[in-house]
């Protein structure tokens, strides 16, 4: 392979004569990317809210049993003030 003719030796994809198929394919690609991105974002938000709710519920159960809360979340917690 001659480095000077490298661009000519690659089999480049053929450009269609009408712009319509490429336009439709571009719209489909952009729409699909938006749908996938929105799906990933909604899964992330759902998992984040479930994680927050799980932490909140665990803290409520700890409070009911009279146990101290997580000291990482509450650094100013005093063990004598239950």
25 or 74, higher pLDDT: 25
Supply the pLDDT for residue 22: 76
> Is the entire prediction scored with pTM above 0.85?
no
The residue with tokens 């974002």 is 41
Rounded distance between C-alpha atoms, residue 71 and residue 32, angstroms? 45
Q: Is residue 2 predicted with pLDDT exceeding 90?
A: no
Burial profile 11-42: b = 16 or more Cβ within 10 angstroms, e = fewer: eeeeeeeeeeeeeeeeeeeeeeeeeeeeeeee
Supply the pLDDT for residue 32: 94
Asked whether 69 and 59 are in contact (CB, 8 A), the reply is yes
77 or 13, higher pLDDT: 13
The pLDDT tens digits of the residues spanning 23-55 come to 888 899 999 999 999 999 988 887 776 666 556
């Amino acid at each position: 392979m001659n480095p000077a003719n490298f661009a000519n030796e690659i089999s480049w994809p053929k450009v269609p004569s009408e712009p319509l198929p490429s336009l439709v394919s571009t719209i489909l690609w952009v729409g699909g990317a938006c749908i996938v991105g929105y799906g990933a974002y909604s899964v992330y938000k759902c998992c984040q809210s479930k994680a927050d709710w799980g932490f909140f519920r665990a803290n409520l159960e700890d409070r009911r049993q009279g146990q101290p809360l997580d000291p990482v979340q509450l650094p100013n917690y005093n063990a004598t003030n239950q």
